[in-house]
């Protein structure tokens, strides 16, 4: 229900609509993606992936709210769960890299190249 | 009709029985073979006598369904008429004599049982040709005799020359039979508008072809082509120029085989076929002319080859070629009866000559006539029997060869002057070369170094001489038993002019041989020197074998095989097999650069992919 404060037309730009959430989500996703592409540290890459996950979560939640639908919320819980598992595996890989190759630089890890 | 089937299948039963139970029992094998062919011979004689008493019995035909396909039924049957009965009598009669002879000649051979097994199979195959009612049955027999001939020429296959000779015979006949099969199929195709109407059956074709030709259903050029194609078969089997090259080499086989297959029966199958299908050739005079000339040239050219040959069996082989040429010429001139008559008498005297030559080889282990000599003293009987055969071959008056050769010469005299003179000249050459063989091998003095390693020449056992004597009897008497009359057609009149001319020529031939090779009044070397050009030509066998060798080696092996090898190496192996391997390898070498191993490269590619997908989505 709109309050008096926000009902005046010239203050309409202060309204936080789903568009704002989606834009924030896109910005977050792009930041994560840039990090993913540019960072060399495995831990940082994992963190960037995490940022991208949460950008996606934000978009889901925003749409779920906008449409009054619970599906988006459900998906977010799934993503959080999967992300937790993914981080577990990713960190395990990072630990192994540190132990075996004594490095966390992704560029130095190219055992699978031709 | 049971007896008719017996004629055909008794030898086959013998062949199978030998294969199954007698392969390691030589005595049983030869007994079975002789029993099989003897049964066949007895059944033929029974039919022959029946037919003499009741001529209405012939022709008699019986058949069973052999191949049944939609729209095509091929029967397997037996056709008995004067022609097939006479031929069957020759095959089984001469065959029986040769089988008995072989028990002596082949005694102690390592593959004695196999020899008799194949010989029995040959008898069955030959009788299949003779008694067949249709082209397919005949063709099956035709190929089977070729196969048996191959096996028997190569009987002593450990000897490379024998194995090669077998292959050569097989190959040359393959070339000829290809044309023959095409001819048969073309004839079938021409025999009716729809497949259901078409037929391979001799009698039906004989009745139908003139009607179809008259009605214009068969195009004008078709029948001559069919005629020439079918004539390819006899050209190969009866060894006519230029496909004669296999027959002299076929003498590598055991001598009874040369007598039975390569003189008396199988090589005569071509002549028999021309008689059997004479209704086809009758309608196409241009093909008949071709046949006559091929026959005439074969007769003349092969007689020439026999003049310079030194191997006793090969002389007889060239003589066989020459006599087959006579028969083919007779057929080409329209003389069915004359051709068959000469076939019959030739079967007798040529089998006799070969078996006598075999007896010589058996006694001396020598085939070169110049290393023989003086056999008259050591092998009296063989010499006498060989002489009878030689005189019959030369056309000595009163012997069987005289009568049948006269028929052919009279026929040629009536129809074609050049062929008549070629035939007469050939008769002279025949007398000369057989006289030469006789004088050199049987008269004179034994050659100094001959028989050295094998002891003196000895006469052959009775089991070999008795069949020889029977054949000699036939050679002496076959002119008097009325073979042309049995064939039921008008024979040629006896012509005094032709007879006298041919007698003069034959006398000249024999006399010259006597002078040159017995009296030594004329030196053979000086004669050869004086006639250097023809002599060289003959010694190189008209260069025909060389031409074939050149063709096979240069055209076939170097050019065609080289081209095929190039196609295989460059195109199939180079382009298809190795090319595809190279393509895969190169593609792999290029594409593996994509796998940098840097995880962020993959992420970048992943991103670009997603961007591409998104751009597709938003472009719409």
Q: Domain total for chain A?
A: 1
Instruction: Give the model's confidence band at A24: pLDDT under 50 very low, under 70 low, under 90 confident, else very high.
Output: very high
Q: How does B551-573 read in b/e, with b if 16+ C-beta sit within 10 Å?
A: eeeeeeeeeeeeeeeeeeeeeee
Q: Do B599 and A36 touch (CB under 8 A)?
A: no
Instruction: Note whether residue A17 is domain-resident.
Output: no
What local confidence, expressed as pLDDT, does residue B456 receive? 62
Instruction: Give the domain extent around A76.
Output: 40-108
Beta bridge partners of residue B76, listed in sequence order: B64
Contacts of B608 in chain A (CB under 8 A): none
Instruction: Note whether residue A113 is domain-resident.
Output: no
Instruction: Note whether residue A10 is domain-resident.
Output: no
How far is residue B174's CA from residue B146's CA, in Å, rounded to a whole number? 9
How far is residue B8's CA from residue B144's CA, in Å, rounded to a whole number? 14
CA distance A6 to chain B (A): 35
Instruction: Note whether residue A77 is domain-resident.
Output: yes
What local confidence, expressed as pLDDT, does residue A89 receive? 94
Q: What is the ipTM of this complex?
A: 0.73
Asked if B268 contacts B346 with a C-beta cutoff of 8 angstroms, the reply is yes
Instruction: Give the model's confidence band at A9: pLDDT under 50 very low, under 70 low, under 90 confident, else very high.
Output: low
What local confidence, expressed as pLDDT, does residue B16 receive? 92
Q: Do A110 and B600 touch (CB under 8 A)?
A: no
Q: What is the pTM of this model?
A: 0.78
Q: Which candidate from A36, A45, A113 shows the least CB-CB separation from B597?
A: A113
CATH of the domain at A98: 1.10.287.3510
Instruction: Note whether residue A13 is domain-resident.
Output: no
Q: Does A94 touch chain B (CB under 8 A)?
A: no
CA distance B608 to chain A (A): 12
Helix-then-strand count for chain B, H and E: 28, 2
**E strand or H helix at B386, and its extent?**
helix B380-394
How far is residue B513's CA from residue B508's CA, in Å, rounded to a whole number? 8
What local confidence, expressed as pLDDT, does residue B490 receive? 63
Of B608, B592, B587, residue with least CA distance to A112:
B592
Q: Mean pLDDT of residues grouped by 10 in chain B (620 residues)? A: 86 91 87 92 90 82 86 88 89 91 86 90 93 92 91 89 89 90 90 83 86 79 88 89 86 87 87 89 88 91 88 89 91 87 90 89 82 78 88 86 86 87 90 87 67 60 86 85 74 77 87 82 80 83 86 89 91 91 93 82 89 87
Instruction: Note whether residue A18 is domain-resident.
Output: no
Size of interface A-B (CB pairs under 8 A): 30
What local confidence, expressed as pLDDT, does residue B453 receive? 43
Asked if B135 contacts B81 with a C-beta cutoff of 8 angstroms, the reply is no
- For the stretch B364-368, contacts whose Cβ atoms lie closer than 8 Å and that sit 24 or more positions apart, written own/partner, are B364/B450, B364/B451, B364/B454, B364/B457, B365/B451, B365/B453, B365/B454, B366/B450, B366/B451, B366/B454, B367/B311, B367/B312, B367/B313, B368/B310, B368/B311, B368/B312
Give the pLDDT mean for A89-99.
92
Of B121, B107, B142, residue with least CA distance to B268:
B142
Instruction: Note whether residue A16 is domain-resident.
Output: no
Tally of CB atoms within 10 A around B101:
29
Helix (H, G, I), strand (E, B) or coil at B134: strand
How far is residue B326's CA from residue B324's CA, in Å, rounded to a whole number? 5
Give the pLDDT mean for A48-77.
92
Testing the interface with A: which of B588, B596, B598, B614 to mutate, by most A Cβ within 10 A?
B598
The runs of H, that is alpha helices, within B395-517 are 400-415, 417-442, 462-477, 483-486, 496-514
CA distance A61 to chain B (A): 22
Instruction: Note whether residue A9 is domain-resident.
Output: no
């Amino acid at each position: 229900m709109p309050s008096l404060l926000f009902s005046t037309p010239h203050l309409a730009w202060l309204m936080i609509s789903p568009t704002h959430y989606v834009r924030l989500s896109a910005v977050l996703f792009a930041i994560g993606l840039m990090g993913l592409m540019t960072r060399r540290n495995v831990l940082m890459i994992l963190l960037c992936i995490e940022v991208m996950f949460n950008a996606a979560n934000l978009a889901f939640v925003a749409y779920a709210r906008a449409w009054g639908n619970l599906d988006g919320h459900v998906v977010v819980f799934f993503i959080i769960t999967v992300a937790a598992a993914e981080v577990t595996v990713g960190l395990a890989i990072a630990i192994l890299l540190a132990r075996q190759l004594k490095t966390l630089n992704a560029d130095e890890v190219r055992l699978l190249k031709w | 009709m049971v007896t008719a089937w017996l004629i055909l299948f008794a030898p086959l039963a013998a062949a199978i029985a030998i294969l199954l139970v007698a392969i390691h029992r030589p005595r049983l094998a030869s007994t079975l073979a002789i029993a099989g062919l003897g049964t066949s011979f007895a059944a033929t004689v029974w039919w022959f006598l029946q037919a003499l008493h009741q001529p209405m019995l012939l022709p008699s035909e019986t058949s069973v369904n052999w191949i049944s396909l939609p729209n095509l039924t091929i029967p397997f049957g037996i056709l008995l008429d004067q022609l097939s009965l006479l031929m069957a009598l020759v095959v089984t009669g001469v065959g029986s004599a040769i089988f008995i002879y072989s028990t002596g000649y082949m005694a102690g051979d390592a593959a004695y049982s196999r020899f008799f097994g194949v010989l029995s199979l040959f008898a069955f195959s030959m009788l299949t040709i003779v008694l067949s009612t249709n082209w397919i049955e005949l063709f099956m027999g035709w190929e089977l005799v070729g196969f048996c001939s191959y096996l028997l020429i190569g009987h002593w296959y450990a000897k490379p020359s024998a194995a090669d000779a077998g292959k050569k015979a097989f190959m040359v006949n393959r070339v000829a039979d290809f044309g023959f099969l095409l001819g048969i199929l073309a004839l079938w195709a021409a025999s009716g508008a729809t497949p259901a109407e078409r037929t391979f059956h001799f009698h039906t074709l004989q009745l139908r072809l003139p009607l179809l030709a008259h009605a214009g259903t068969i195009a004008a050029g078709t029948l001559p082509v069919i005629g020439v194609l079918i004539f390819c078969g006899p050209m190969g089997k009866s060894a006519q120029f230029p496909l004669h090259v296999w027959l002299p080499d076929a003498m590598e086989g055991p001598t009874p085989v040369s007598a039975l297959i390569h003189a008396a029966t199988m090589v005569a199958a071509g002549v028999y076929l021309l008689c059997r299908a004479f209704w086809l050739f009758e309608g196409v005079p241009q093909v008949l002319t071709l046949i006559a000339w091929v026959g005439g040239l074969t007769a003349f050219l092969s007689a020439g080859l026999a003049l310079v040959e030194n191997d006793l069996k090969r002389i007889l082989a060239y003589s066989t070629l020459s006599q087959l040429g006579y028969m083919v010429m007779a057929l080409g001139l329209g003389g069915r009866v004359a051709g068959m008559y000469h076939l019959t008498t030739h079967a007798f005297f040529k089998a006799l000559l070969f078996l006598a030559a075999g007896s010589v080889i058996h006694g001396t282990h020598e085939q070169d006539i110049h290393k023989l000599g003086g056999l008259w003293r050591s092998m009296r009987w063989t010499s006498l029997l060989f002489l009878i055969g030689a005189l019959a071959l030369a056309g000595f008056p009163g012997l069987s060869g005289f009568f049948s050769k006269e028929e052919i010469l009279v026929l040629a005299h009536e129809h074609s002057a050049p062929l008549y003179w070629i035939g007469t000249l050939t008769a002279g050459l025949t007398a000369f070369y057989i006289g030469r063989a006789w004088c050199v091998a049987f008269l004179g003095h034994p050659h100094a170094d001959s028989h050295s390693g094998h002891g003196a020449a000895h006469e052959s056992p009775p089991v070999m001489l008795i069949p020889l004597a029977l054949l000699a009897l036939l050679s002496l008497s076959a002119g008097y038993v009325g073979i042309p009359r049995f064939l039921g057609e008008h024979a040629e009149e006896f012509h005094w002019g032709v007879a006298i001319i041919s007698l003069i020529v034959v006398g000249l031939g024999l006399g010259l041989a006597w002078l040159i090779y017995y009296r030594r009044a004329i030196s053979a070397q000086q004669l050869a020197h004086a006639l250097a050009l023809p002599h060289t030509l003959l010694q190189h066998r008209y260069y025909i074998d060389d031409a074939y060798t050149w063709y096979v080696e240069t055209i076939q092996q170097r050019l065609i095989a080289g081209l095929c090898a190039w196609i295989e190496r460059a195109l199939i192996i180079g382009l298809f097999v190795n090319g595809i391997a190279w393509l895969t390898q190169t593609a792999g070498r290029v594409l593996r650069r994509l796998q940098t191993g840097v995880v962020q490269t993959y992420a970048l590619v992943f991103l670009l992919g997603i961007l591409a997908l998104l751009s597709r989505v938003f472009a719409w």
